[in-house]
Amino acid sequence: MRHFGQEVLTVAHEFTEAYAEVFTAPPWQHRDVEETRAAFRERLESDAHRPGFRAVLALSDAGAVDGFATGWTTGRPFRSDRAYGKVTRRLGADRVERLLVGAFEVDELGVRPHARGTGLGRRLLSALTGAAPDGRAWLLTWNEAHDTLAFYRRLGWREPEPLPGDETDVVVFLSPGTPLETGSSTATATP
């Protein structure tokens, strides 16, 4: 595994190919490959310059990206683009401020199909979040990505309870080192 900051752009082509392969396969098969590739490449060019940006890539002997993880420390004000508005709606602005701002945000995590089942995803996530501020990290994912949801739950990541009536198609996870607020429960609790 190799750790990167902005220099991840030196392997942007290989990284983009891996991203497109992962995020146009089930359950994301509805996405167009070329559009996904172009949108990610553009976003990577911008994200690599964010304060605190980090990437961890697992590279094959041939230089292909077998797996990847990226993220940065969540700044203030909390963003409203992409799916961030859904996060605020799901948790409320006060909990977003307390739980997410200042924590390390895992933006992307993916493993190509041929490298799955090897523990690579767990190792990438651990390598990326190992230096999270005060051990606090978070991420969001799509509620229809059932294998992804199960993966994070197996690793001990927990879901803050959504505000009543404000569930969305995104699920927010907090790392095992991030405390849930008193009185909240995880979404995995049995009703």
Q: Evaluate if residue 90 carries a pLDDT over 50.
A: yes
- Across the range 164-169, mean pLDDT stands at 80
Query: pLDDT for 29-87, tens place per residue?
Result: 899 999 999 999 999 999 999 989 999 999 998 889 999 999 999 999 999 988 999 99
Task: Please state, in angstroms and rounded to a whole number, the distance separating the CA atoms of residues 155 and 121.
Answer: 11
Under CATH, which number does the domain 2-174 receive? Answer: 3.40.630.30
Task: Please state, in angstroms and rounded to a whole number, the distance separating the CA atoms of residues 19 and 185.
Answer: 33
DSSP result, 34-98: HHHHHHHHHHHHHHTTSTT-EEEEEE-TTS-EEEEEEEEE--SSPP-TTTHHHHHHHH-HHHIII
> Residue written as tokens 């978070």?
138
Paired tokens of 72: 């940065």
Domain residue ranges in the chain = 2-174
What is the predicted pLDDT for the residue at 27?
87
Instruction: Label the pairing between strands 137-142 and 104-111.
Output: parallel
Query: pLDDT for 101-111, tens place per residue?
Result: 999 999 999 99
Angle at 158 between CA 157 and CA 163, to 5 degrees: 150
Enter the pTM of the model: 0.88
Pair 3, 54: CB distance under 8 Å: yes
